[in-house]
Chains A and B, each alone.
Chain A
Amino acid sequence: TQLLEQSPQFLSIQEGENLTVYCNSSSVFSSLQWYRQEPGEGPVLLVTVVTGGEVKKLKRLTFQFGDARKDSSLHITAAQTGDTGLYLCAGPFQGAQKLVFGQGTRLTINP
């Protein structure tokens, strides 16, 4: 059983479409982080959400932290081929010394 469940695990859409991916837990997190990983590279931090209900925008990417701080979503508007990658959510666990990850959403944007 994973602490953080991401859905969908795979998503393939056409350039220009909108999409939303989810990160859910039965536990409350003090914060959640979103990372993007490209092939052959390590994950890179996109954003950290801290307050329940918080919305953060990064160009065409919109991140939301659930009111109860148990879930988060990432919405991409007008997806581009450069958005292709593995999107991972992560949250602090056991006194924040550990960051635990969801299993990721593999996103493919087709031209």
Chain B
Amino acid sequence: DTAVSQTPKYLVTQMGNDKSIKCEQNLGHDTMYWYKQDSKKFLKIMFSYNNKELIINETVPNRFSPKSPDKAHLNLHINSLELGDSAVYFCASRPGTTYNSPLHFGNGTRLTVT
């Protein structure tokens, strides 16, 4: 199946821990993103990579570090987790960055920090 897949689906951890979320797309897209969806369902862009190069870095704490080993993968590592990091994190890819190019989302990782 062609898709954007991210793991794990659920992640429950304690404050102060370090965790990673993995994302892979087999759609052949050049551009990948991380979005954060808060409890009110608002989707906020965090990072974007185009062909392994960082092109968007929103005002995200530097505890969040994305890594793109190749254009099909974009992982998110989070250090020193805080309660406020609890949210659903979505990976997405896009065939290009033209104005009408749509996003293809994974099914999300629900992160709960206790």
Contact = CB atoms under 8 A, between A and B. Distances in A.
Interface string B36-77: 000011111100101000011000000000000000000000
A11 to B, nearest CB: 14
A111 interface: no
Interface of A: 30-31, 33, 35, 37, 40-45, 48, 50, 86, 88, 90, 92, 95-101, 103-104, 106
Secondary structure class of chain A's binding surface, majority of residues: strand
A95 B81 CA distance: 33
Contacts of B106: 42
A50 B100 contact: yes
A71 to B, nearest CB: 17
15 contacts: A30-B100, A33-B103, A37-B41, A40-B107, A43-B103, A43-B105, A44-B105, A48-B102, A50-B99, A86-B41, A90-B103, A92-B99, A92-B100, A100-B45, A101-B44
A103 B107 CA distance: 18
Interface in B78-114: 90, 92, 94, 97-108
Contacts of B94: 99
Given A42-B106, A42-B108, A96 B99 contact: yes
A42 B101 contact: no
A98 B99 contact: no
